[in-house]
Amino acid sequence: MNSKKITTFSKLVSSVFYIGYFPLRGGGSWAALFCLIYFILLRYLLVDFFDLSENLFLIINLIILILYLPLGIFTINRSISKEDPDPHHVVFDEWVGMYIPIVILEYNLFAFILAFFIFRFFDIFKPYPINKFEELPKAYGVLGDDIVAGVFTLIFVLIIESFIELPVI
């Protein structure tokens, strides 16, 4: 594969099919929102329409999540520079971070929407120790803080669900 194809592929993936280039601000929010929509539609198609079991759907999504990591490292490293180590158009990290809680949580649109807002809070404000993962080199830092924000989001939603019965939508 020549370098032009690698660059185009990296730009396509790291910007999540050019969502990172949307003219509206908040590319990370758009990527997280599209991740949520993608997951809901994928679940509807595979589980509800094709009658795939919930357990198999979970396994497929866990495999996808694991594959996102080397894909993200490869494409993000080719989309960043020393001058701009975390450009605004690189939003694959938000996609991966949002994917973590929605894959693990029980299917509930209310919980997913709650997870979206909690994830965006963690991603934007980066409280300790999330901010420490930004200091990792290259794509590891770009992805690291969002992965930890996704794990924190999952934990927070599970804690909220243990105290409050969320409406099922």
Confidence of residue 168 (pLDDT cuts 50, 70, 90): confident
Q: Which residue has the tokens 């243990």?
A: 162
Confidence of residue 86 (pLDDT cuts 50, 70, 90): confident
* Whether 148 contacts 134, CB under 8 Å: no
26 or 71, which is more confident?
71
- Tell me: pLDDT of 82 over 70: yes
* Whether 98 contacts 31, CB under 8 Å: yes
- Average pLDDT over all residues of the chain: 94
Could you tell me the sign of the dihedral formed by the alpha carbons of 103, 105, 108, 113, in that order?
negative
| Residue 168, token pair as written in the block | 């099922």
Q: What is the mean pLDDT of residues 29-40?
A: 97
